[in-house]
Amino acid sequence: MKTKVVVTGMGVISPIGNTVEEFKQSLIAGKSGIGKITLFDTTGFDVTIAGEVKNFDPSQWIDKKDARKMARFTQFAVAAAAQALKQADLLEDCPADAGLGEGRQRIKGDPNKAGVVLGNGIGGFEIVTESFRKLFDNGPKRMLPLTVPLMINNEAAGNVSMVYGLQGPAYTQVTACASGADALGQALDLIRSGRCDVVISGGAEACVTAFAIGGFQMLKALSTKRCDTPEKASRPFDADRDGFILGEGAGILVLETEEHAKARGAAILAEFAGYGGSADAYHITAPDPSGVGGGTAMKYALADAGVKPEEVQYYNAHGTSTEINDATETKMLKYAFGDHAYKLKVSSTKSMTGHCVAGGGGLEAIACILAIREGFFPPTINLENPDPACDLDYVPNKVLYGTVNVAASGNLGFGGHNGVVVFKKYK
């Protein structure tokens, strides 16, 4: 029998709120977090909008000295982890001889059985940009001294482990836009294997930079039609969609064995029931148009969760607002769910947050858990002219309410990576 894994804490940094409660209320309201880019000068760019995190003050969650040694994506991850660990009631004050610093908190219990698995696609892009500028303008001796430790993908997981004294496995999953979902899947396996009692997992990304926007713009992947009305630009499954909107943020979950959570009297939010992964083996950016690759990951996830297709009420789609993705994902759902695909409530919360790359996997998993706990289906906003190729129920424009016992979320990454996670109402 598989070890039952449960969720006991959640944390959010996002374009539509920097707490789980703010995020939930924005989902219910159908609030867009897309706006004009403020993080860099967009002069000369065709794309001038993004889903930026607003009003983020790392000192609310992170020691100021520590924060100065973290890239933006790492700050997001540590801040969201702080929220999640607080909700899980897994923190205690450090004894003076713990070596973690004065006034710090550390994880309760055996630190060797507590791990971190975080997804990140791109790393500290703002650090890369700044150091390249200094290198090319003034030579190598003017580069940022912490260029390497700030920019590399693993530093979010590393910092979460250092800040909270987690001494179990700590590593980073890098599968582009599927990184967050795949990280959750790896965390699930760590707990089921018995190597960890607790794992902090999810995804974080902060790539609203000139370098990233310029690169995605050259790929013709980003929306350019609605830069004057940014709140209307992300429109998954709509016939007038013309590309995704880059976003940023972090969604972090505290995962535990049911036994560990119950032994310490934790409030259990949901069961993390299953994960499925696959590779399209098709193209460096486009999904397999047949839908079989992603659909296979969906089937694997349902089987791992012990769930029949007809038992799922809600699916949080990858739903990027690109022509190819949305039509292909519709095929994936039909391949995996059969006729039940037409009875599913399917929505893309990227219509509100933009595409937060690895951060999306964590945020969208949390959207599923909120749907289960609060009994609502988040809307797909801006769905005004449905694409005939996208003929499922995408919860257009307004929230719906109803019972959600099982919810799933899928993420598809450049390179053909597919990751799907399944959550159940805890019983």
Residue 5 structure tokens: 């894994």
Residue 395 structure tokens: 């919860």
Task: Name the residues annotated as catalytic.
Answer: 177, 318, 355
Asked if 316 contacts 376 with a C-beta cutoff of 8 angstroms, the reply is no
Alpha-carbon span 42 to 97, nearest angstrom: 49
Asked if 410 contacts 297 with a C-beta cutoff of 8 angstroms, the reply is yes
Alpha-carbon span 412 to 132, nearest angstrom: 30
Closest C-alpha among 353, 395, 356 to residue 233: 353
